[in-house]
Structures are given as structure tokens and as C-alpha cells.
Amino acid sequence: MTHARRWTIVGLLFVASLINYFDRATLSFALPMISDELHIGAARQGVLLSAFFWSYALMQIPVGWCADRVNLRWLYAAAFVIWSLAQSLIGLARSLTALISFRVLLGFGESIYLPGGSKIVSLLFRRAERGLPSGLFDAGTRTGLVIEGVLVPWMLSRFGWRVTFVVVGISALLWLIPWLIVTPRGLQAPANPENARPAGTRSCAASGGTECGGAAPGSVPFLARTRTLLTNRNLLGLCLGFFCFDYYWYLLLTWLPNYLVKVRHFSIFEAGLGASLPFLVFGASEPVGGWIADRLVRAGWNETFARKGVVGLGFMTGLFLIPAARVTNPGLVVALFVAASLVGISNGNQLVMLQGCAPIRDIGLWTGIYNFVGNVAGILAPIVTGLLVEWTGSYSPAFVLAAVMLVAGQLAYWFILGELKTPA
């Protein structure tokens, strides 16, 4: 496969990630209108915001398993159709029950994004090159939120929330045209990982497993592989660290627009702009963090130390979330949210650390487990935040909890996750 075609596929994954987050976060921007129309309180709003993650989290492991074995061209396309149609159906909902049902369906379709994207990157790029493409395709998620912060509030104020959901869902299907044109028909992990390396890379045997990762399928019995996987210290550290990161991230994603409207008294359009700036910084910093770590590794730094260091630096910026709930100046509030969003420099490197620990034959499965654990935080963060707001009448306890989660995540990465060694 040519260099240009590989990067074109990464570009399409970037756009798919953009649409993925655009669709899942539309509810966050529309929530003030929906809650007023359907009379939904803070605690039930938390349940509604959480519903997406019920199916999204549960599907991560089976989708990851499929990504390791099924043609990714068609798997990704089918999932894309499901989530686009689910998004449009939300506009037809007349009750909280219907809203929850369609959000669950949306989570089912969108579950392909990280296991599928990570698997594709691992097939197209060598391990030392994956930081930038991993950060780039995942940066589409935050870019979608930036665009959404401007476009969706305008659509909501002009057309209402029902038309907005229908138009956003149906128009996204246009992405399928370039995807089916550019991706090869055989976009699938071969049975022998020897054939999975990009052109110009060394064989798995020649590289000691560091390029492609691990023994050939079948050389390790399934039960032994499963036992090893469930007791793998690196996988445990990755999952715990990502859980803490996702708790922080999903609090911002689900509650920030509503917080700016209800607490800071922004208009819907002002809240969109106010939320889009942190999301912009979050997305822009992702490939930057991957690029910095890649440069350090190529300059001779120990890869484990370089990537953990960039992740740790990003996590520390999350502490800016605590004063964001306490200051009174609206401009300073947004500035602190922007500073707190530099956490994004960690995310591309989290994916590369995962790819660096998993055998290439199982990257989809590892990513599924990793994303499942992370998205359990997606289930909890909206509900816990809603309950804390209803019980205390303030967002401060919720913001402090999210910042503390990042501190715990650093401990998991530094003291549980070991060296980035691909297991056999």
C-alpha cells in the first residue's frame, strides 16, 4: 500500500471520529432544550447522558474481537450506518424512554471507533511510527466537538432539536462514499502476522517481535492466551489509567455545555462557543503529544519513560478544573477549562502504549477490553455528576472528583504499567 493511501485512510478515520463525537455529543448541547420540553430533572439527565455508554462499553470486547478477525472495510461501514440512523431517530423521540433507547442504539454502532481505528493503524504503520497517526485519527473526536460547538447551537436555535438530530444523522452517511473508494477490499489482519507489516519494515522474526508483536496465531493455546491476558499487569495498568482519564473526559463531554447554560447563564450559542474552545485545545494537543513522544523515542529516549512522561504531564493539567468551578469571571472560567483540556496531550500516547504492549494479532481485542473499562467511566461520570449536583446544588464536588481521578490514573501508569514490551 502506498504512503499516500495509508495517510488517506488515517484522514478518513479522522473524519469518522469527528462524526462519531459530533453525533454522541449533540445531546449535550441540546439537553437544556430537551430537558425543558420533557421536564427531565438533573438526576434523570445524568441517566440519559449515561445511556449511550451502556451499549458502547458492553460492545467493546466483542467489537475488538471482530476487528482482529473480520474485514475492517465492511465492519466499519456497517457500524457507521447503524450509528447514523440511530442519531436521526433521536429527533423522533417523544419520551425519555425513547430517547434512552435510541442513545443505546447509537452506542452500539459507535463502538467500532477505537478498536477498529487502532487495529487499522497497527496494520498500516510500524510501532515507532504510530504515535502521530494514532493521535491524529483520535483528534477527530475533539475536532468534531469544536465544529459542533458552533454549528449545533445555531441549528438548535434556528430549527429546534428534533430537526437538528435528523439532519446531522442522515447527512453523515456521505462519508461512506470515500471510505468505500479508498479502503482496500482486503483491509483485514492476515492469519500470519508476518504478512501484517507495512512495506519496508522488518519481519516479526527479524525484529524480535517488536515490529509486529508476538507469536503467530495458533502457537499459543487459546486458554493459555486467555489466562495470560486476564492476568497481564500491563493490560491492568492501561485499563485503570484509561478509566481515570475517561471519567475526567466524559464529565466534560456530557456536562460542560449544560453547566455553562444553567450555572454560568450563557445562552446556548455562547455555551457552544465556550465549550468549543476547551474541546479545540483537547483535540489539537493530541497529535502534538504523540509527535513529541515519537521525537523523543527517535532521539534515543527510553520509550516507556518518554510516553509515560508525556501522559503524566497532560494529566497534571487536569487540576485546573478545580478552580474553574470557583471563579466568577466568565472569561476566566473558559480560560481555566481551556488549560484543563491540555490533558489531551496524553491520549495519543495512551493508545501507542496499548499498541506497544499488545500482540498485533490481538490489538483489536486488547483495545476492546481497554475501551470497555474506560467507558464504564462513561457510564458512571454522567450519573455521579448528576447526583452530586442534585444533592449538593454545586458542580464543585464533581469537578474535584474528576481531578482526583487523574491523579489516580498517573499512579496506575507509573506503578502498575511496566515496560512497553509486546508479550508473546
pLDDT along the chain (424 residues), means of 10: 88 94 91 91 90 91 86 94 97 94 96 88 81 79 84 93 96 95 81 49 37 45 63 91 95 91 90 89 85 90 92 95 92 94 90 82 79 90 92 93 96 90 54
Q: CA 341, CA 279: separation in Å to the nearest integer?
A: 7
Length of the chain: 424
pLDDT at res. 237: 94
Contact 204, 422 (CB under 8 A): no
Q: CA 241, CA 307: separation in Å to the nearest integer?
A: 13
pLDDT at res. 253: 87
Closest among 344, 353, 368, 370 to 418, alpha carbons compared = 353
Closest among 112, 113, 105 to 88, alpha carbons compared = 105
| Helix spans in 125-160 (H) | 131-159
Closest among 340, 315, 336 to 324, alpha carbons compared = 336
Q: What are phi and psi of 326, to 5 degrees?
A: -110, -25
CB atoms < 10 A from the CB of 363, how many? 28
CB atoms < 10 A from the CB of 319, how many? 16
For 284-318, b/e burial (b = at least 16 CB within 10 A) is bbbbbbbbbbbebbeeeeebbebbbbbbbbbbbbb
Contact 114, 64 (CB under 8 A): no
pTM: 0.75
Contact 116, 72 (CB under 8 A): yes
Q: CA 212, CA 354: separation in Å to the nearest integer?
A: 13
Grid cell digits, residue 60: 467493546
pLDDT at res. 212: 39
| Helix spans in 317-417 (H) | 321-324, 330-340, 347-357, 363-392, 396-415
Query: Which amino acid is residue 108, in one-letter code?
Result: F
CATH superfamily for domain 3-183+233-415:
MFS general substrate transporter like domains (1.20.1250.20)
Spatial neighbors of 288 by CB under 8 A, at least 6 apart, are: 135, 345
Q: Judging by beta carbons within 10 Å of its beta carbon (0-12, 13-18, 19+), is residue 390 exposed, middle or buried?
A: middle
